[in-house]
């Protein structure tokens, strides 16, 4: 029998008979690793442990606790859930059931509605399937065979998926566990018994293929982990996340609303929310000016011809809104870059002028489907802290490094840790291979020069260039995409942007698109959940509230109020004829940093008695001392 050479995870080489399975290779290796190994990588491709090997290659283990391992585990749990649903509810049709971040889902066509009691029944049936120790068995069949199989079962969604595959796809894979068979490319865990901990979370509506013109299906969400402890920890985070939900806190703290009367995905900021937003935007303006940016403003609508010229019309028009003015078609801007191109092009540029850094807090509109809208985190109108930097190729590295430093500083100021990803060329890209290679190399080089740890995100760049994504981590360790740096050789070409070099010849500038906080609305949503609405003093819409003990203290309270207002302290007064304890509890509910009690003692001494929102009493102090305290807390930020 022919032998193949397998390089094992420890780097050693082993001669094996052709056709040996991954599991057999690992068993013969003698390492006690299989209990936690859900799959493997063979020559960089993910494979089942049952996969037969027919060529030389490198073998790597995929542990159940790794990111890839958890994804495989959760995908397998979604198959078990689909089996349980069809066992309990005959006639239910299955569609798709992928793993997602932190869990999985499966979409079902069911003529009734799944209830919380149904989820409990499904979980119990899943436990029975897990205990039965059914192996996941992969079978490769022709596309025609698969269509015939699923047609026979009445699974119309699977048939549609199969028929929509590209013509060149002749073979597909099916996975079986117990009496259940699903269409799937895999890989999967070896057996259902490997599932240790899972929980079904909720049911939601979802249009087939995300298109509201299609049938509404029922989506069951769940999650799974390698251990019960990991699951319990995650469920605690979910409960805490519910308390911190920015939509709930937005109502409770009177920050903003989303009104169906106004329209889905459109944010209405109340006074306190507007103060918070203004504080963030003012900080941004100050920091950009310090770093040599020029502030600019562009119009909300631009001619469609301009969007065609840029390439956005071909690549992005499904997410755009359009209007017509006097017979001329316009696109309502989903991005801010085009006006910045026209500013650059308004006069001849020299290499001595570069780099040029155009910054705009620009409001944009994007046609998002109703199903994906989510408060401040996903809206149809939002404002981005967009900047476009035009520079020479030689300046590219230093500009990227400066932006990365800016992002790091911003994350520190707002209290976030973050991770970095380099996203490379997607399939639907525009531009030459040479441009993409140069741009990717420049971004990666800057990260290395800044000694930044980063991951590679293959194929997730913008259509016009590669990008660096900064994912901030909130108090619950969730990751949020906010800052990004995108390298673009394409727009300067399309708009024929040039500068005169030292040689007297015209040259093409390189452009960087970048945001620091990203969409202001989205950043506010993350900020609200990160702090649970209890903002640092410098960001608190209301920094202090005055609480009178009785009506006779109101005149002194008014005098203190005037002093604080004159000093720029954001203060409210609660002079209602209510019990002091009630007023304090209400101020705590509103998460105001300081409560200033005004009674006989304070009035007699001309002082105030601040109480922190955490409950600590700071003792009596002159009003001037309290003003100094607040100003000190805010000093480095304002």
How far apart are alpha carbons 362 and 370 in whole angstroms?
Answer: 23
Query: Is 286 a known active-site residue?
Result: no
SS (H, E, C) 179-201: CEEEECCCCCCCEHHHCCEEEEE
Tell me if 522 sits within 8 A of 377, measured CB to CB: yes
Q: Annotated binding residue at 391? A: no
Active site residue 401: no
At residue 37's C-alpha, the angle toward residues 33 and 38, to 5°, is 165
DSSP 8-state assignment for residue 348: -
- Phi, psi torsion values for 59, nearest 5 degrees: -115, 130
Active site residue 213: no
Distance (Å, whole) CA 224 – CA 334:
37
Active-site residue (options: 48, 118, 182, 386): 386
> Whole-angstrom Cα distance, residue 609 to residue 621?
6
Tell me how far apart the alpha carbons of residues 585 and 591 are, in angstroms, rounded to a whole number: 10
Per the structure block, which two tokens stand in for 526?
């993350």
Looking from the CA of 414 toward its CB, the CA atoms found within 13 Å total 28
Looking at the DSSP bridge assignments, the partners of residue 594 are: 544, 612
Options 79, 366, 380, 613, the catalytic residue: 366
Would residue 56 show up in a list of annotated catalytic residues for this protein? no
257 belongs to the catalytic site: no
Where helices occur in 419-532 by DSSP H, the ranges are: 433-449, 490-494, 520-531
State yes or no: 184 annotated in a binding site.
Answer: no
Q: What are the residues whose beta carbons fall under 8 Å from the beta carbon of 569, sequence distance 6 or more?
A: 543, 544, 627, 630
* Catalytic annotation present for 386: yes
Task: Please pick, among 219, 312, 388, 613, the residue that the annotation labels catalytic.
Answer: 388
Pairing of β 37-42 and β 45-47 = antiparallel
Q: Which one of the listed residues 16, 337, 482, 487 is annotated catalytic?
A: 337
Question: What are the tokens at 459?
Answer: 């194929």
Options 246, 467, 471, 570, the catalytic residue? 467
513 classed as catalytic: yes
E strand residue ranges, 226-279: 256-258, 267-269
- Determine which one of 79, 513, 591, 611 is catalytic: 513
Q: Could you tell me the end-to-end alpha-carbon distance of the chain, in angstroms, rounded to an integer?
A: 75
Burial class of 40 by CB neighbour count within 10 A (0 to 12, 13 to 18, 19+) = buried
Known binding-site residues for Zn(2+) equal: 337, 388, 513
Active site residues: 337, 366, 384, 386, 388, 467, 513
Known binding-site residues equal: 337, 388, 513
């Amino acid at each position: 029998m022919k032998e193949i050479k397998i390089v094992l995870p420890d780097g050693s080489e082993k001669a094996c008979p052709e056709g040996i399975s991954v599991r057999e290779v690992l068993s013969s290796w003698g390492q006690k690793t299989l209990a936690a190994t859900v799959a493997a990588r063979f020559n960089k491709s993910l494979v089942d442990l049952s996969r037969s090997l027919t060529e030389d290659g490198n073998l790597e283990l995929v542990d159940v606790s790794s990111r890839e391992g958890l994804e495989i585990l959760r995908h397998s749990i979604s198959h078990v859930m689909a089996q349980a649903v069809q066992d309990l509810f005959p006639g239910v049709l299955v569609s798709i059931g992928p793993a997602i971040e932190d869990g999985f889902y499966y979409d079902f066509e069911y003529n009734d509605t799944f209830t919380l009691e149904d989820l409990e029944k499904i979980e119990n049936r899943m436990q029975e399937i897990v205990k039965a120790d059914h192996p996941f068995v992969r079978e490769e069949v022709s596309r025609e065979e698969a269509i015939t199989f699923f047609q026979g079962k009445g699974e119309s969604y699977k048939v549609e998926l199969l028929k929509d595959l590209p013509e060149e796809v002749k073979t597909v894979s099916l996975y079986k566990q117990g009496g259940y068979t699903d269409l799937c490319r895999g890989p999967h865990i070896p057996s259902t018994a490997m599932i240790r901990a899972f929980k079904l979370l909720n049911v939601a509506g979802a249009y087939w293929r995300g298109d509201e013109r299609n049938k509404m299906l029922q989506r069951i969400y769940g999650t799974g982990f390698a251990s019960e402890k990991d699951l319990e920890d995650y469920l605690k985070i979910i409960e805490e996340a519910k308390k911190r939900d920015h939509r709930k806190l937005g109502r409770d703290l009177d920050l903003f609303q989303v009104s169906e009367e106004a329209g889905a995905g459109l944010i209405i900021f109340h006074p306190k929310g507007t103060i918070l937003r203004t504080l963030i935007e003012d900080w941004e303006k100050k920091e950009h000016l310090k770093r040599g940016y020029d502030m600019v403003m562009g119009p909300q609508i631009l001619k469609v011809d301009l969007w065609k010229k840029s390439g956005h019309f071909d690549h992005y028009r499904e997410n755009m809104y359009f209007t017509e003015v006097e017979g001329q078609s316009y696109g309502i801007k989903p991005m801010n870059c085009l006006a910045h191109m026209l500013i650059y092009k308004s006069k001849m540029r020299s290499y001595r002028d570069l780099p040029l850094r155009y910054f705009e807090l620009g409001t944009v509109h994007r046609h998002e489907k109703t199903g994906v809208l989510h408060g401040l985190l996903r809206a149809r109108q939002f404002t981005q802290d967009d900047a476009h930097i035009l520079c020479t190729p030689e300046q590219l590295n230093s500009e990227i490094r400066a932006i990365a430093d800016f992002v790091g500083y911003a994350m520190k100021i707002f209290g976030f840790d973050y991770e970095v990803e380099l996203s490379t060329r997607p399939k639907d890209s525009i531009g030459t291979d040479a441009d993409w290679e140069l741009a990717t190399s420049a971004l990666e080089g800057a990260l290395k020069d800044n000694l930044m740890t980063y991951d590679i995100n293959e194929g997730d760049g913008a259509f016009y260039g590669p990008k660096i994504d900064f994912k901030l981590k909130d108090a619950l360790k969730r990751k949020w995409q906010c800052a990004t740096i995108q390298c673009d050789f394409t727009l300067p070409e399309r708009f024929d942007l040039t500068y005169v070099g030292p040689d007297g010849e015209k040259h093409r500038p390189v452009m960087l698109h970048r945001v620091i906080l990203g969409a202001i609305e989205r950043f506010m949503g993350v900020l609200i959940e990160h702090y649970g609405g209890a903002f640092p003093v410098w960001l608190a819409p209301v920094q202090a509230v005055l609480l009178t003990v009785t009506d006779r203290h109101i005149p002194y309270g008014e005098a203190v109020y005037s002093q604080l207002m004159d000093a720029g302290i954001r203060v409210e007064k609660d002079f209602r004829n209510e019990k002091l304890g009630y007023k304090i509890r209400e101020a705590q509910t509103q998460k105001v940093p300081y409560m200033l009690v005004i009674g006989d003692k304070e009035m007699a001494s001309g002082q105030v008695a601040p109480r922190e929102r955490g409950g600590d009493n700071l003792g009596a102090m002159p009003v001037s001392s309290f003003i100094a305290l607040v100003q000190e807390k805010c000093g480095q930020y304002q």
